Amino acid sequence: MIAETVCSAVAAAGLGIAAVTAYRKRFLTAARIAAYALVPLGLVMTGVIDWLADTAFSPTAWAGFGVLGGAWLLFAGTRAVERRRAGRREREAAAVAPQASAPSLGQASRPTARPSAGPASRTDADDFSDIEAILKKHGI
């Protein structure tokens, strides 16, 4: 009974503020204030306020909220463990790599770069002459 009276008073006060705002030619703001003011009145008329008051003082309702909270914790915990296991499997799969992919430090694996004695071989002077030609072309 008290909750209905308070909600009705809040709605009446909000509508009064909306009327003053509309008098000041701020119609959009007045309409928004009126909409907010009518929400508590609508909640009283639909019976939601009675349901909330009954729920707030009911031990059975609070026990139900506790059960729902416990179910949520179980769900979140199982998801966390599931993600952790999936991450561990990915790390284990990445750690087991074939030996061929690791670089070898032995002498046999190093390529030997020996210039051939034929006419197609390039010397250091040929490399620099190409660079010089490119720079001259661009005016540098």
Buried b / exposed e over 53-74, threshold 16 CB at 10 Å, is eeeeeeeeeeeeeeeeeeeeee
Q: How confident is the model at residue 94 (pLDDT cuts 50, 70, 90)?
A: confident
Q: Is the pLDDT of residue 42 over 80?
A: yes
Q: How crowded is residue 115: how many other Cβ atoms within 10 Å of its Cβ?
A: 10
- pLDDT on residue 90: 76
Find the distance separating the first CA and the last CA of the chain, reported in whole Å.
92
**Each residue of 44-76: pLDDT tens digit?**
999 988 888 888 888 888 898 899 999 999 999
**Each residue of 80-91: pLDDT tens digit?**
998 888 877 777
Q: Which tokens sit at 28? A: 């959009």
Place of tokens 């909409």: 35
On average, the pLDDT of the chain sits at: 82
51-to-3, 9, 87 alpha-carbon distances in Å: 11, 19, 46
Q: Are 22 and 30 in contact (CB under 8 A)?
A: yes
Distance of CA 47 to the CA centre of its chain: 37
Q: Are 31 and 14 in contact (CB under 8 A)?
A: no
Q: How confident is the model at residue 93 (pLDDT cuts 50, 70, 90)?
A: confident
- pLDDT on residue 127: 77
Q: What percent of the chain clears pLDDT 70, i.e. is strictly above it?
A: 77
pTM of the model: 0.45
